[in-house]
Amino acid sequence: MTDDELTTTVYYDEDADRTHIDDKTVAVLGYGSQGHAHAQNLADSGVDVVVGLRESSSSRAAAKDDGLRVATPVEAAAEADIVSVLVPDTVQPAVFEEIRDELDAGDTLQFAHGFNIHYNQIRPPEDVDVTMVAPKSPGHLVRRNYQSDEGTPGLIAVYQDETGDARDEALAYAHAIGCTRAGVIQTSFQEETETDLFGEQAVLCGGVTSLVKQGYETLVDAGYSPEMAYFECLNELKLIVDLMYEGGLGEMWHSVSDTAEYGGLTRGDRVVDEHARENMEEILEEVQNGTFAREWIAENQAGRPSYTQLKDREENHHIEQVGEPLRDLFAWADEGDAEKAEAPA
């Protein structure tokens, strides 16, 4: 059964039934950002966890130091009821091929992002459950929020429900890593994958960095000092985003001056105009029809030639050369020098 229906139900602690995970063994494959957080939170919640890492993996020592049981991915998957695949997305298909024979009927193959299932890079056996538990946050916060009792918001999704237990088990897992404390939304693999890719490309990572660079270049090309341009177009962005994060756009508009509000309301749509909107729609289409996925898979198969070049160009952008010494000034401020903290504001 494939879950294509979208809901906006939010689940909290009281909606989760931990008996769906308490007697199970979870194999966490990978010990990076998400892996270390899931493994430690599960273990602290009393769930039997085994971390699956290659013999050569440098993460083995870290997982052992954190008091966790470590095995190879194959050994871990063999003993587990739930296999949580938390190696990088580009590595997952190869790791899946290694462990696929260890999946027994009724086991669960679980992800924190839908890319490989949605774009058919992993074709799971028909007799297992396939679920997603995706914290909407980097792993170190998933761990920190668990320890501080706050919890981290997350998503769950069910792609294949062979046992009839898939959703309840995913909710129990979300509970055990602290997500239901903050709230968990049910989505589908398709929706999570497409919105995640679109968001990071058009707005969060791609859109914002382009906006910052174009703004910076416009000021510098007009003869203003790079340091001023850096503060105005990059550094202050954090303050604006913090306000939006706390109280939406309204809180931000309320907090800036009337001049900033009027100028922003009359000029913003001239920068990000209907042409930008058309480009966004095109980018969304490439996500939906698989063009982006095919491009990224081929790029990886070719050894990442364009990716390497683009990363290099980004690292060498003028704004990066200007930013480094300036951020060092702010590091002093972090150490408690209030006068320096005020200087560039």
Catalytic residues: 113
3-state DSSP call for residue 235? Answer: helix
Binding mask 41-60 for ligand NAD (x = CB under 6 A): ------------xx--x-x-
On whether 216 is known to bind a ligand per the annotation, the reply is: no
With CB under 5 to 8 Å by kind, the binding choice for 104 among Mg ion, ligand NAD, none is: Mg ion
Which position among 3, 21, 34, 172 is part of the footprint of ligand NAD (CB under 6 A)? Answer: 34
The span from the CA of 267 to the CA of 260, in Å, is 10
Place of tokens 């939010």: 10
Please answer whether residues 53 and 60 qualify as being in contact, where contact means their C-beta atoms are separated by less than 8 angstroms. yes
The answer to whether 251 is annotated as binding is: no
- Tell whether residue 193 is a contact of ligand NAD (CB under 6 A): no
Q: For residue 283, how many C-alpha atoms fall within 13 Å in the half-sphere facing its CB? A: 17
The annotation status of 57 as a binding-site residue, yes or no, is yes
**307 a known binding residue?**
no
Which region, judged by CB under 5 A, interacts with Mg ion, from 99-107, 123-131, 152-160, 268-276? 99-107
Contact call for residues 144 and 39 (beta carbons, < 8 A): no
CA distance 156 to 132: 5
Number of residues that bind Mg ion (CB under 5 A): 3
Q: Using the rule CB under 6 A, is 72 a contact of ligand NAD?
A: no
According to the annotation, is 32 in a ligand binding site?
yes
Kindly tell me which residue out of 20, 113, 118, 175 binds ligand NAD, with binding defined by CB under 6 A: 113
Closest by CA to 36, choosing from 24, 26, 51, is 51
List binders of ligand NAD among 233-272 (CB under 6 A).
Answer: none
The angle, 0 to 180 degrees and rounded to 10, between the axes of the packed helices 291-301 and 274-288 is 70
Phi-psi region of 134 (alpha: psi -120 to 50; beta: other; left: phi over 0): beta
Is 112 one of the binding residues for ligand NAD (CB under 6 A)?
Answer: yes
CB of 4 to ligand NAD, least distance (A): 21
Do the annotations mark residue 304 as ligand-binding? no
**How many residues form the binding site for ligand NAD (CB under 6 A)?**
23
Strands 25-29 and 10-11: unpaired
Q: Which does 59 bind (CB under 5 to 8 A by kind): Mg ion, ligand NAD, none?
A: ligand NAD
Calculate the CA 110 to chain-centre distance. Answer: 16
Integer Cα distance of 227 and 323 in angstroms: 8
Beta bridge partners of 83: 27, 109
**Interface with ligand NAD by CB under 6 A: which residues?**
30-35, 53-54, 57, 59, 86-89, 91, 95, 111-113, 134-135, 138-139
List binding-site positions for substrate. Answer: 257
**Interface with Mg ion by CB under 5 A: which residues?**
104, 107, 196
List binding-site positions for Mg(2+). Answer: 196, 200, 232, 236
